[in-house]
Structure 1
């Protein structure tokens, strides 16, 4: 087995272990940070009144998770698209430079 393939397999196993370890070793509830922040504010200032409210609340937690995932996926897609465009421009520019050098050297 090539050294590179072996390294990739080891890294993949490490990533899987890092992802699964919280589910195995951490006992408790997984909640959003929004709720935790509100709880802490009310704990230290019981008279606090919320002054900002959401414009629209999703009908369920699953829909909220879906929208969050779609938002993250679209953002990742846009970032990767622009990185790909920049890489393509750089590759095309270096290709035209090497062709110019070949023409000049002939």
Structure 2
């Protein structure tokens, strides 16, 4: 079912099944690795890629030394995870803001184009007034 806008065009109805499908997909991505036991053979099953890369480099070359040192070393893994989550949230907020602004601009452009088109057709339909404007 669709609702009518002032332009007379039907607006699409939100598809709740698509939303629920996406929610279940994300849930499956989170739960599936836990269910199948991914990472059970590792000491830290879901450790970061940085730690795994350093461990692999050390196995290949025992004299390996990192090129850079971190600017800030978190006192615990929980704080490090929290900072990473904060970084991800800020990034998601910036990306979400960008898409919101882009969508609003697109809607405003379409609305402006529709208003311009409607205005042009009204001007053509109205009789031309050739009398000079005498009001000052």
TM value normalised by structure 1: 0.81
Query: Which of 48, 56, 64 is the aligned partner of 2:64?
Result: 48
Structure 1 position 25 matched with structure 2 position 41: no
* CA RMSD, Structure 1 to Structure 2 (Å): 2.0
Q: Which entry has the higher C-alpha Rg, 1 or 2?
A: 2
Return the alpha-carbon distance in structure 1 between the equivalents of residues 99 and 19 of structure 2.
23
Inter-CA distance 92–13: structure 2 relative to 1 (3 Å threshold): closer
Q: Quick one: structure 1 residues 67 and 92, their matched pair in 2 at CA, closer, same or farther if it must change by over 3 Å?
A: same
Sort the Cα spacing of 1:87 and 1:68 in 2 relative to 1 into closer, same or farther, 3 A. same
Query: Relative to structure 1, is the Cα distance of residues 97 and 16 closer, same or farther in structure 2, using a 3 angstrom cutoff?
Result: same
Greater than 3 Å deviation, 4+ residue runs = 4-15
Deviation at 1:66, TM superposition (A): 0.8
Q: Could you state the TM-score of these two structures normalised by the residue count of structure 2? A: 0.65
